[in-house]
Amino acid sequence: MSIQIYILSKLMDENNYPYKLKKELSTPIPFDKLLNLSESKLYYHFESLSKQGLVEQVEIIKEEHRPDKQVFSITDKGRKQLPLKIYKVIEDAESISEMIVALVNLRFVETNKVIPIIEKKIEQSLIRKDQLNQIYHQIDVVSSTREVVDFMESYYVSQLEQSIHWWKVLLEKLKTKTI
């Protein structure tokens, strides 16, 4: 869904064609390679968005000795669906890294609708941390496995604390409108 959000957000700015968007993704940082995004995958997402009625082909640019460029525009339905797709990615994300594309496109959503989602994620993480702590204290471990259990508990608590920290940083930035 992140690729579709990227496409729709770019089409909100201007009509565009897949190859140009792929080039933009590859410079200056090769995000296309990091995301393993080939041109065919990008065209697939354009096709999918077109079938959903969210984008439409508005022009074909023909150049000699070059493939035709299919220029797309976002539809009214696409304009309405973009915020919904962003909210869905944020709701479904288990980590901030899973919602980077959504965060970059917050200008298309209402921050006051995102804040409760993030607050819920913090609350759920705190509950998980508490549950982990309870489980740890209930485990009856023989001395030979104590080190491993302690290591795992420390690892998971550390991961949760780090996650909670960054959820809180994000929440503060949303509340102060600095992101």
Could you tell me if 5 and 43 are in contact, meaning their C-beta atoms sit under 8 angstroms apart? no
Tell me the two tokens of residue 86: 């962003």
Q: Could you say which of 87, 104, 121 is where a domain stops?
A: 104
117 shares its domain with 65: no
92 shares its domain with 128: no
The pLDDT of residue 123 is 98
- Domain hosting residue 160, numbered range: 110-175
Find the CATH number of the domain harbouring 33: 1.10.10.10
115-138 b/e (C-beta count within 10 Å ≥ 16 → b) = eeebeebbeebeeebeebeeebee
68 shares its domain with 156: no
Measured distance CA(55)–CA(71) in Å, rounded: 10
12 shares its domain with 66: yes
35 shares its domain with 50: yes
9 shares its domain with 90: yes
pLDDT digits (tens, 9 = 90+) for 88-114: 999 999 999 999 999 999 999 999 999
User: 76-92 and 111-138 helices cross at what angle (nearest 10)?
Assistant: 20
pLDDT digits (tens, 9 = 90+) for 153-179: 999 999 999 999 999 999 999 999 999
Q: Could you say which of 77, 104, 131 is where a domain stops?
A: 104
pTM: 0.88
72 shares its domain with 47: yes
